[in-house]
Amino acid sequence: MKKWLPLLLMLIMMTIFPSSSFAASSGLPFAYKTEVKVRLLQKPTFSASLTGTYSLMDLNGNKLIPLNGQNTISFQQQNGQITATFGTQTVNSSLGFAVYETTISDGNQFKITGMETASGSTDGTMTFRGSFTVKPDKDRPLVLNVLDMENYLKGVVPSEMPALWHAEAVKAQAVVARGYAYTDVERSDFLEMTIASQVYKGKTDEHPNSTKAVLDTAGIYVTYGGKPVKTYFYSSSGGKTENAEDVWGNPAPYIRSVEDGFDRYQGNTHYGWEKVVPTSTIAQKLSLPSTQMLLSLEVACRTEGGNAKQVIATIYDKTSNTLSTKQIFGTSVKYPDAYRGFFGGLKSSKFSVSADASSSVMNGSGTIEKTNYLVGYKIQKADGTTEHIEDLNIKVRTKDGSSLVSTYPTNFTFKGDGYGHGAGLSQWGARGMAEAGYKYDAILKHYYTGVEVKKLY
């Protein structure tokens, strides 16, 4: 039985982490244990300075090319080929090159000169662990940093959570970053170094605290039903998290709404935020023609977590002199989290909204009612005739003479709490829980329902 135990364990690990998940054709002559490929954002022409033991391989025939003691290689794309120059030697390849660790070592690194500002580089340079490939692409080479999961996370965690926060919060962030990356690796050819995946700055911005958190939790994942799950995270919940279906429309059994009092931690500035959005901007988003005017917005119902779910717009049609309403969710907005972008970059969908025009009107029965707009109301003029208000301002007689009254909102003010989509782990909440004495696994089990926190390799 004992001689079968190693084989059995290997089969179990292959089931949980199939080789195709991590070791899909990277172009290297070997595969890292838990391989991750990240697309780097470099300029069309760039150079790589190598520290440690590296080899250069032409991917057209997998031929090794002696570097002859050179440790800086320049790359560019010309006529669909990649040109590599080092010292006095120039080599062309139709398939590109791999620069890989001859011997895998923590001392190996390469520094790219010629990074785009979108990469997060402030001086055009960034340093990375692992290996890389350079292949022909559209207008510039496709450069993939190839490395193992744990070294990748060393470059992610300090970019996603401040390394000086409580150690248990940083450990929780390391675990969720690992699960987030794992599920992305399974369905993508490569990860991005931006928020399209997770912010990754390589070795450049590594910090001892976050590196320790990665190493202390190495191989640990949040699992549901025995499998690693996508561990969504964000900055601040605003006091209560969201069900997955109330954010993106699709349910996830481990992402359920929970109370999050720890999120209101001292220093969290994401409570009571405000954003003013011009009426014209929202009308354009609603695709209103010039004959229609947006008069009001109202949050008609909310999700279990408190985010706006249905927002109703009141619209006046100048052609027919009629008022109508439009439900934004289900038409202009397909899922609640999309309100953030739809309304011009709100911090969260946990908001209330008000107009900047407000008036009190006495109707024909003598009743006074408050309204955010006067457009569309029928008024009686001095000569006894009536007409619908359509001007943006009207002159109203007062006890002191007359004044102009706005009849139509020119801006809407959104006020809210929280920052991000609200599904899964709140980083500020994790910090609050850690400061209150909770360990990282308890933090994770609070934000992800019915899960286990397990070491899988």
Task: Provide the 10 A C-beta neighbour count for residue 68.
Answer: 9
Residues present in the chain in total: 457
For the stretch 409-443, pLDDT in tens is 899 999 999 999 999 999 999 999 999 999 999 99
Can you give the pLDDT at residue 205?
A: 94
Q: Is 9 exposed, middle or buried (0-12, 13-18, 19+ CB in 10 A)?
A: exposed
User: CA nearest 388: which of 397, 378, 380?
Assistant: 378
Of 250 and 384, the structure prediction assigns the larger pLDDT to 250
User: Is the pLDDT assigned to residue 164 strictly greater than 70?
Assistant: yes
User: Is the pLDDT assigned to residue 18 strictly greater than 60?
Assistant: no
User: Is the pLDDT assigned to residue 12 strictly greater than 50?
Assistant: no
User: Is the pLDDT assigned to residue 14 strictly greater than 60?
Assistant: no
Can you give the pLDDT at residue 318?
A: 87
List the beta bridge partners of residue 360: 370
Can you give the pLDDT at residue 303?
A: 97
User: Is the pLDDT assigned to residue 398 strictly greater than 60?
Assistant: no
237 pLDDT band, cuts 50/70/90, is very high
List the beta bridge partners of residue 64: 57
Pair of tokens at residue 279: 């009426």
List the beta bridge partners of residue 396: 403
Q: Is the dihedral of CA 206, 211, 214, 215 positive or negative?
A: positive
For the stretch 336-390, pLDDT in tens is 999 999 999 999 999 999 998 655 555 556 665 666 666 655 555 555 566 656 5
d(CA 207, CA 44): 30
As a whole-number percent, the residues of the chain with pLDDT over 90 amount to: 79
Q: What is the mean pLDDT of the chain?
A: 89
Residue 188 near residue 36, CB atoms below 8 Å: no
User: Is the pLDDT assigned to residue 112 strictly greater than 50?
Assistant: yes
As a whole-number percent, the residues of the chain with pLDDT over 70 amount to: 83
Can you give the pLDDT at residue 408?
A: 77
User: Is the pLDDT assigned to residue 8 strictly greater than 50?
Assistant: no
Can you give the pLDDT at residue 361?
A: 54
Sequence ranges of the domains in the chain: 30-148, 155-270+418-457, 272-355+411-416, 359-406
User: Is the pLDDT assigned to residue 405 strictly greater than 70?
Assistant: no
For the stretch 165-222, pLDDT in tens is 999 999 999 999 999 999 999 999 999 999 999 999 999 999 999 999 999 999 999 9
Pair of tokens at residue 197: 């995946």
Task: Encode the chain in three state secondary structure.
Answer: CHHHHHHHHHHHHHHHCCHHHHCCCCCCCCCCCCEEEEECCEEEEEEEEEECCEEEEECCCCEEECCCCCCEEEEEEECCEEEEEECCEEEEECCCEEEEECCCCCCCEEEEEEECHHHCCCCCEEEECCEEEEECCCCCCEEEEEEEHHHHHHCCHHHHCCCCCCHHHHHHHHHHHHHHHHHHHHHCCCEECCCCCCCCCCCCCCCHHHHHHHHHCCCEEEEECCEECCCCEECECCCECCCHHHCCCCCCCCCCCCECHHHCCCCCCCEEEEEEEEHHHHHHHCCCCCCEEEEEEEEEEECCCCCEEEEEEEEEECCCCEEEEEECECCCECCHHHHHHHCCCCCCCCEEEEECCCEEEECCCCCEEEECCCCCCEEECCCCCEEECCCCEEEEEECCEEEEEECCCCEEEEEEECECCCCCEEHHHHHHHHHCCCCHHHHHHHHCCCCEEEECC
| Among the ranges given (80-94, 274-288, 362-376), the one the predictor scored with the smallest mean pLDDT | 362-376
19 pLDDT band, cuts 50/70/90, is very low
User: Is the pLDDT assigned to residue 17 strictly greater than 80?
Assistant: no
* 378 alpha-carbon distance from chain centroid: 48
Of 23 and 157, the structure prediction assigns the larger pLDDT to 157
Can you give the pLDDT at residue 25?
A: 58
d(CA 354, CA 349): 15
Q: What's the average model confidence in pLDDT over 146-157?
A: 98
